[in-house]
Structure 1
Amino acid sequence: MAGSNPSRAKGIFISALKWGGGIALVGLIGLVVAVAVAVASLPDYDQLRRRSDLGQMVRVRAADGTLLVSLGPSFGRWLGYDEIPPTMRAAMIAVEDKRFRSHPGVDPIGVARSFKVRLESGRWKQGGSTITQQLARNIFLTNSRTFGRKVKEGVLALALERKFSKDQILELYLNRVYFGGGAYGIDAASRTFFGHGAERLGLGEAAIIAGLVKAPSNYSPTADVEAARGRAGVVLNSMVENGFLAPGLAVGVDPADIKVQPAPKQNSVRYFTDWALPQLDMLIDETSEPIDVFTTLDPGMQAAADSAINGFTPAGAQGALVALDRDGAVKAMVGGRDYVDSIYNRATQAERQPGSAFKLFVYLSALESGLKPSDTIVDEPVTIDGWTPRNSTRTHLGPVTLREAFARSINTVSAKIGESIGFGTIASMAHRFGISGNISTFPSMVLGTSDVRLIDMTRAFASVQNRGIGVVPYAVRKVVTADGQLLYQHQAEEQRVLVAPWVAAGMTDLLQSAVLSGTGRAAQIGRPVAGKTGTTSSNKDGWFVGFSSGITTGVWMGRDDAKRVAGLQGGTAPARAFAEFMKVAVAKRPVEQFETQAPMPDWQLEPDEEAWGMNYVDSEPLVDADGNPLPNQPVDPLAPQPGTEQVDQQWLDEVLRRNPDNRPQPGQQVPQPQPQQVPPVRNQPPRQPSEQPTDPLQPRP
């Protein structure tokens, strides 16, 4: 019986071997089948070179091509195996998979070490993944730490090794692996961290990039440059220990001497990119390809705008600035003092009362109705439907020219203009010039009580500078794919005439006067400037919008909660910020004199009832209640005239012969609009013989 025990044990051992061998054989057959199926299902090499599966990369560039911000994954140029520096290949193999050239895709030694750590710690702590396994996981799997995922990863790695060469696998890996900072592939990493392509990587730089794979967020040079340099030292030592680098070469590399490119500043510029990028939905068809978006932003102007807003905005308040070129290109945009603190864009989203800056539309309507800058109006107390406006000086100057009234921002004159030509006419003018919100038609609207956006006000002033032709702000010049395919190119829109050129010239005259000797004197920059201040009640908002040498800039300051800001007026901090910015913005542009005189049509110079075949002034004599003709009286240019037609958007479209969608037909000759015909001179008190003529823009005694 005792002798039977060894025999029985031997039998059990042999049976176990047979069963174990059978199971192993079945498992091996299953593995072979699984690998064969995986090989058959793998994409070809050209398909794996495409990186659209990682997400869309959008690189936003300034007007000069410099990178403003990169969103989504960042891809550089795909480098073939022979283009990758040997030191980069060696560094990656040394630190990530030193037996890469000898294993079949899965490293048995690494697997054994992984199981040992699993048994000791009770969890998967050290993966032991080869470069091929990492590539399989990055392309086909997730990063979940489960046994099932490890089995799939191993099968796919074996399949990759059967289908592709070692050089091809290493090329795929180095061009697809994530290195932190949004960079996928060594070329994107090199450009992100060192400012040049990966084909120029030095030994120290290659060591830094190779060290990032283990923990991209921990060792990213843009996050912690010292940690990245310390990790590079570990990589160099590993290269020496595994025979990839001579000790003398490693000694000659000091990671502390490796220069890392600082990440581009993304503070105020993000206000612009956040506004510009949503416009892509209307400009290009949906695509998953990496794209470069070339914008209109000027980096120098943007820096100057940021400095001006932060340098002049009162403590506790916010500021915003928009600058447009003559064609509508947005050259600078600041939506607040600090994007990190607040992403709310006050340049494009906030709606605030513009105060006297709104008088642009009041005086445009007056000029279009036939008044001229030199016409005289009486500054006197006025009450309209129970509303009595007050001047900021609490005084009245008596007879003043339209030019002086605008320069001094006299409220009573604006009220009289609104009462004469109609508050609806002024609201229509504001909408004509691009004000998108609702405009009140209550009398106080002439003082800017309706909420508007800074970008809309800036657009309106830009259209005046553009001789009455509409300006539409835009941000995107062109969009191209990574391989250079053009997806979009900005084309100038058909020009839309908003007011006649002599109206725009007269308005420019008034705006220039406001800067030369009126409320906007702080906006002077040593060359012609035209603009207007705006201040709301209790100093809640301060505005200055103006133009010079083809650049139109709007500045707003105030609190987000619309509380009072002590000392804030349009002619103080906003005008000074405007001047500070414009000195930089126009420094390299030629000085341009304003066109404040424009030829007027014959019917304006010599009034004729038959002009253009339209009757604008009733020729019938005025009569009293009994039908008797009234004696001739001097006519006030602001007094309503019987038979006078309303000068509104519909009238302008009819005169310009626009089609129903308000666009001139291609090749159509657009006639100039005819302003409302009114007598040009008002009745004013005669001067005493001893009184000398005075400059209407100088302060009165």
Structure 2
Amino acid sequence: MSALDAATRGPRGPKRPAKPSFLWRSAKFVSYWSVVAGIWGILVVAGILAYYAAHLPPASEWAVPSRPPNVQIVAADGSLIGNRGDTGGEAIRLEQLPPFIPEAVIAIEDRRFYSHFGIDPIGLLRAAYTNYRSGHTVQGGSTLTQQLAKNLFLNPERTIQRKMQEVVMALWLEANYSKDEILEMYLNRVYLGAGAYGVDAAARRYFGKSARLVNLSEAATLAGLLKAPSRLAPTRNPALAEQRAQIVIAAMHDAGFITATQAKNALMDGIEVAGSFNRGSENYVADYVMELLPSFIGSVDQDIIVDTTIDMNVQRAAENALRNALLYGDKDYGAEQGAVVTLNRNGAIRALVGGVDYRESQYNRAVYANRQPGSAFKPFVYLAALEHGYRPETIVKDRPIRIRGWSPKNYNNRYYGDVTLTKALAKSMNSVAVQLAQKVGPGNVVRTARRLGITSALTTNLSLSLGTSEVTPLEIAAAYVPFSNGGFGIVPHIVRQIRTEDGKVLYSRRGDGTGRVIAGDKVGQINLMMANTMEIGTGRKSALENRPSGGKTGTTQSSRDAWFIGYTAYLTTAVWVGNDDNSPTNKVTGGTVPAHIWHETMEIAHNGVPIAPLPGVPLYLNTPQPMARPDDSHRPVLPPSSVGQTAGPIPARSGPMNLLERIFGGG
């Protein structure tokens, strides 16, 4: 035995290595089987996911569905009238949103959004522990990606199969889209209550502004809605909404998104809820535009912008005048509804108010209410008479008449005897209107009304002259426009252009109307007569100060309908007041409430607009006119087919006008 061997041997033989401790052996055992169990667990979970994934369409067919298109409807100045479509708002790029919005959502819903892979095991464990400690569910374990997957692809049922499919789709989203893309899709599609899908729709619904403009407090309120959109809506439960927003603000501070000062200021600022949503008259405009869209571009398959002809200053003036008269006045007129429509001389609709309160009634009376116009129809009778040889100076006899057992009476049963046509129209004498219709023939009256733009069914009997055939406010307003523009027919229109968000024009209005519909010399005659109505007749309460205008009142039997339709050289406005059930009002006549609404609307609508005479009146006044009797001539004098020029504006003048200048325009 060598010395080395002897040194390494003990007295009882070779030295044995130390035996591992029990703890060490236990740790190795647990580690080994943990790995094995983990592998098997992964295989089991993968198998379960594969099983439920098999009930989905092939992955090659998976695709994010297109977001329902939004229709952005804007006024002539580019201001927003409303959003229409299934979502109610725009799809906004993530970088265009205030950072508060995504930060608020991440802080309260998925703080590890940028760290996990679509599923957050840590978040699941944390939620499970928190829920166990509290004894009920206070935290959810679904990531934003899972929530998006559920919203995009799956139904809302609560089953194991749906949850497993949600996980599969979340993993697919993470594999095919960036985190920012997923977050952007989520913010633009998530439901936030009150029919609003996406943060822009919700911001407009609750705050009356684009999501691009929300502040920190508003962003926190929106994020707070995710837990329970209907219950936490600020319009429904402002106290709960505020409490939830405070929790979101605290979470944002805890996550490091905002400073303590920002959090404190946000808690103090609070929010201001837009209370007029779905009440404003612009909703009548938006609805009407949506009804017209298919005729312009067919089905809507992308986000579009519709440029309208609406002037929001005139729209607001008409809305306020109508509401102030019927809702806030001191007197009970027994009239619950009304409508106002304003057109310019080319037929562009500048204001369209379909009712007193859109939230209470979405029925658009300005476009669809067929009502008897009463004496507001008489200008077509008088124009037909002028075209058959009568003149404004023609003397007619206002007297009681009886035609085949029918005895039409004047208002208050008062008769004036021999009067000019001008005075007969100004005083709205029923007897004269019926006699004129009898002389020229109801058929010619119908043809005149049709030529100017009346499209509704018209009876060809003498009662037509008293406005017994029903028309809509928009229709009769359009038929008055030729008086305003010098005798040219128009096509009323509200859509000017339709374009995509990137500027591609899908539709652009073309056309100048229907050409001349009133002969040039007759334009001055009818306008002379209509101007007298504003000065000495039934429309005198509506006259505009120092601005030539023409118009006509209309009141039907038992005051069921009250109208005022009038115009200047620039704008034509029709006002109707009454009840939807056709019940009588409390003696409302066209010269009272409707005339007041017309005056209030047109005063504001003409702010800054130069004064101009009514077309043809100065020329007619400066041309010697022979006195004519009804039987001097009955030959029709119809308008030529050629299109001439309408009267243009004259420079504004200062100082008061005399009576003639007020009626016919100073120069």
Q: CA deviation at 1:114?
A: 7.4
Q: For residues 193-243 of structure 1, give each alpha carbon's deviation from its aligned partner in whole angstroms, at most 9, with x where no partner exists.
A: 6677767776545433433322233334455554443223212333455x5
Q: Residues of 1 paired with 2:182 and 2:628: CA distance? A: 91
Q: Are 1:238 and 2:251 matched, yes or no? A: yes
Q: Report the equivalent of 2:17.
A: none
- Which one-letter code corresponds to 1:255 in the other structure? L
- Alpha-carbon contact 1:94-1:244 (below 8 Å) kept: no
Q: CA deviation at 1:546?
A: 0.8
Matches within 5 A, 1:296-445: 296-313=309-326, 314-317=332-335, 318-445=337-464
Task: Give the gaps of 5 or more residues in structure 2.
Answer: 1-34, 327-331, 646-659, 661-667
Q: Report the equivalent of 1:257.
A: 269
Q: Report the equivalent of 1:141.
A: 154
Q: Are 1:544 and 2:564 matched, yes or no? A: yes
Tell me the TM-score normalized by structure 2: 0.79
Q: Are 1:271 and 2:284 matched, yes or no? A: yes
Q: Report the equivalent of 1:3.
A: none
Q: Residues of 1 paired with 2:287 and 2:47: CA distance? A: 56
Instruction: Flag the 1:440–1:466 CA change in 2: closer, same or farther, 3 A.
Output: same
Q: CA deviation at 1:469?
A: 0.7
Q: Are 1:98 and 2:111 matched, yes or no? A: yes
Q: CA deviation at 1:551?
A: 1.0
- Which one-letter code corresponds to 1:28 in the other structure? A
Q: Residues of 2 paired with 1:469 and 1:229: CA distance? A: 58
- Alpha-carbon contact 1:548-1:586 (below 8 Å) kept: no
Q: Residues of 2 paired with 1:202 and 1:273: CA distance? A: 27
Q: Report the equivalent of 2:607.
A: 587
Tell me the TM-score normalized by structure 1: 0.75
Instruction: Flag the 1:276–1:132 CA change in 2: closer, same or farther, 3 A.
Output: closer
Partner SS state of residue 555, structure 1? strand
- Alpha-carbon contact 1:523-1:529 (below 8 Å) kept: no
Q: Residues of 1 paired with 2:344 and 2:237: CA distance? A: 40
Q: Residues of 1 paired with 2:539 and 2:97: CA distance? A: 61
Q: Residues of 1 paired with 2:408 and 2:447: CA distance? A: 22
Q: CA deviation at 1:492?
A: 3.2
Q: For residues 513-553 of structure 1, give each alpha carbon's deviation from its aligned partner in whole angstroms, at most 9, with x where no partner exists.
A: 11111121111121212011112222222211110241111
Q: Residues of 2 paired with 1:41 and 1:340: CA distance? A: 46
- Alpha-carbon contact 2:296-2:507 (below 8 Å) kept: yes
Q: Residues of 1 paired with 2:231 and 2:273: CA distance? A: 17
Q: Residues of 1 paired with 2:141 and 2:605: CA distance? A: 58
Q: For residues 576-599 of structure 1, give each alpha carbon's deviation from its aligned partner in whole angstroms, at most 9, with x where no partner exists.
A: 221122111112211111234487
Q: Report the equivalent of 1:503.
A: 522
Partner SS state of residue 516, structure 1? helix
Alignment equivalent of 1:28, drawn from 41, 46, 59 = 46
Partner SS state of residue 319, structure 1? strand
- Alpha-carbon contact 1:298-1:332 (below 8 Å) kept: yes
Q: Are 1:473 and 2:488 matched, yes or no? A: no
Q: Residues of 1 paired with 2:203 and 2:340: CA distance? A: 35
Partner SS state of residue 362, structure 2? coil
Q: For residues 96-127 of structure 1, give each alpha carbon's deviation from its aligned partner in whole angstroms, at most 9, with x where no partner exists.
A: 12343444322335556778999999999965
Partner SS state of residue 297, structure 1? coil
Stretch deviating more after TM superposition (388-397 or 509-518): 388-397
- Alpha-carbon contact 1:36-1:159 (below 8 Å) kept: no
Q: Report the equivalent of 2:83.
A: 70
Instruction: Flag the 1:93–1:569 CA change in 2: closer, same or farther, 3 A.
Output: closer
Q: CA deviation at 1:302?
A: 1.8
Q: Residues of 2 paired with 1:541 and 1:204: CA distance? A: 49
Q: Residues of 2 paired with 1:66 and 1:523: CA distance? A: 30
Partner SS state of residue 342, structure 1? coil
Q: Are 1:448 and 2:461 matched, yes or no? A: no
Q: Report the equivalent of 2:578.
A: 558
Q: Report the equivalent of 1:285.
A: 298
Matches within 5 A, 1:665-676: none
Q: Report the equivalent of 1:684.
A: none
- Alpha-carbon contact 1:325-1:552 (below 8 Å) kept: yes
Q: Residues of 1 paired with 2:188 and 2:530: CA distance? A: 58
Partner SS state of residue 615, structure 2? coil
- Alpha-carbon contact 1:362-1:414 (below 8 Å) kept: yes
- Alpha-carbon contact 1:229-1:256 (below 8 Å) kept: no
Q: Report the equivalent of 2:59.
A: 41
Q: For residues 658-683 of structure 1, give each alpha carbon's deviation from its aligned partner in whole angstroms, at most 9, with x where no partner exists.
A: xxxxxxxxxxx5699xxxxxxxxxxx
Instruction: Flag the 1:547–1:149 CA change in 2: closer, same or farther, 3 A.
Output: same
Stretch deviating more after TM superposition (243-252 or 417-426): 243-252
Q: Residues of 2 paired with 1:97 and 1:396: CA distance? A: 82
Q: CA deviation at 1:336?
A: 2.3
Q: For residues 300-355 of structure 1, give each alpha carbon's deviation from its aligned partner in whole angstroms, at most 9, with x where no partner exists.
A: 22222122223334532122211111111111222222222222222222222222
Task: Give the gaps of 5 or more residues in structure 1.
Answer: 1-16, 608-633, 657-668, 673-694, 696-701
Q: Report the equivalent of 1:489.
A: 508
- Which one-letter code corresponds to 1:541 in the other structure? D
